[in-house]
């Protein structure tokens, strides 16, 4: 199954995450991602979410399942609403 999830980067106790499309059977950081959509810095809040919206909506349309955290971030950023619009 293809998932949209976070891959951890950054220093110890100072994480930065990449938003990636990856096979759910691969390890979080060891598996090669299918695509990289953007990045997220939780220390700076939702404003730091930099995602290519068109590509994210395209992957959601192809059936990629967002994790719970990604779904929450996408709702706050309005990406899930754009995906719902594109389905109509």
Domain boundaries, the chain: 2-87
Give DSSP secondary structure letters for the chain: -EEEEEEEEEETTEEEEEEEEEETTS-TTTSPPSEEEEEE-TTT-GGG-EE-HHHHHHHHHTTPEEPHHHHHHHHHHTHHHHHHHHH-
Per-residue model confidence (pLDDT) at position 71: 97
Q: Which residues of the chain have pLDDT under 50?
A: none
Nearest to 18 by CA among 35, 36, 45: 36
Per-residue model confidence (pLDDT) at position 59: 97
Per-residue model confidence (pLDDT) at position 73: 96
Q: 2-87 — its CATH code? A: 3.30.1320.10
């Amino acid at each position: 199954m293809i998932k949209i999830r976070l891959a951890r980067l950054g220093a110890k106790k100072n994480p930065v995450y990449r938003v990636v499309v990856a096979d759910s059977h691969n390890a979080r950081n060891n598996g090669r991602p299918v695509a990289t959509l953007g990045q997220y810095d939780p220390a700076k809040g939702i404003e730091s979410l930099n995602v290519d919206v068109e590509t994210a909506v395209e992957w959601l349309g192809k059936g990629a399942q967002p994790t719970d955290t990604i779904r929450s971030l996408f709702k706050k950023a309005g990406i899930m609403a754009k995906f719902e619009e594109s389905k109509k």
